């Protein structure tokens, strides 16, 4: 089944404790991206990647890092999480041709205490 898989789905952590949210897609998509969703703010893009070893900032990149060492994986790294990073995070991917239609993961709900 074609899908985007995120882990963990739920995580409660404390301020300053480094964490990584993994994202993997099995559709051989070139493009991958991370969004965060907050009440009243909708979805905002954090980072995106056009292909392996190519990443760029989205609208809200502060406090986050990403890497794209393999085509299928695009982890989101919070080096020193803070409470304002409490949010619902989504990874998405799409093919680099034609229309820009995204396939989303199921989401990762992160709480930073």
Partner 1 sequence: SQQGEEDPQALSIQEGENATMNCSYKTSINNLQWYRQNSGRGLVHLILIRSNEREKHSGRLRVTLDTSKKSSSLLITASRAADTASYFCATDLSYSGGGADGLTFGKGTHLIIQP
What are the residues whose beta carbons fall under 8 Å from the beta carbon of 106, sequence distance 6 or more? 5, 6, 9
Q: Is 4 in the site for partner 1 (CB under 8 A)?
A: yes
> How many angstroms separate the first and last alpha carbons of the chain?
36
Q: Residue 11 Cβ, how far from partner 1 at the closest point, in Å?
A: 14
Q: What whole-number distance in Å separates Cα of residue 105 and Cα of residue 87?
A: 15
Q: Residue 30 Cβ, how far from partner 1 at the closest point, in Å?
A: 8
Interacting residue with partner 1 among 68, 90, 110, 112 (CB under 8 A): 90
Q: Mask 24-63, x = binds partner 1 (CB under 8 A)?
A: ------xxxx-x----xxxx-x--x-x-----x-xx----
Q: Is 92 in the site for partner 1 (CB under 8 A)?
A: yes
- Closest by Cα among 11, 33, 31 to 85: 11
Q: What whole-number distance in Å separates Cα of residue 98 and Cα of residue 18?
A: 37
Q: Residue 16 Cβ, how far from partner 1 at the closest point, in Å?
A: 27
- Closest by Cα among 107, 79, 77 to 92: 107
Residues that bind partner 1 (CB under 8 A): 4, 30-33, 35, 40-43, 45, 48, 50, 56, 58-59, 88, 90, 92-107, 109
């Amino acid at each position: 089944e074609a899908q985007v898989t995120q882990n963990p789905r739920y995580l409660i952590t404390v301020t300053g404790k480094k964490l990584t949210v993994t994202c993997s897609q099995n559709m051989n998509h070139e493009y991958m991206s991370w969004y965060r969703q907050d009440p009243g703010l909708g979805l905002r893009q954090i980072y995106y990647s056009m292909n392996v070893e190519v990443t760029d900032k989205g609208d809200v990149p502060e406090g986050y890092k990403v890497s794209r060492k393999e085509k299928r994986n695009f982890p989101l790294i919070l080096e020193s999480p803070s409470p304002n990073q409490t949010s619902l995070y989504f990874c998405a991917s799409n093919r680099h041709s034609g229309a820009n239609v995204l396939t989303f993961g199921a989401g990762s709900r992160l709480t930073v205490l």
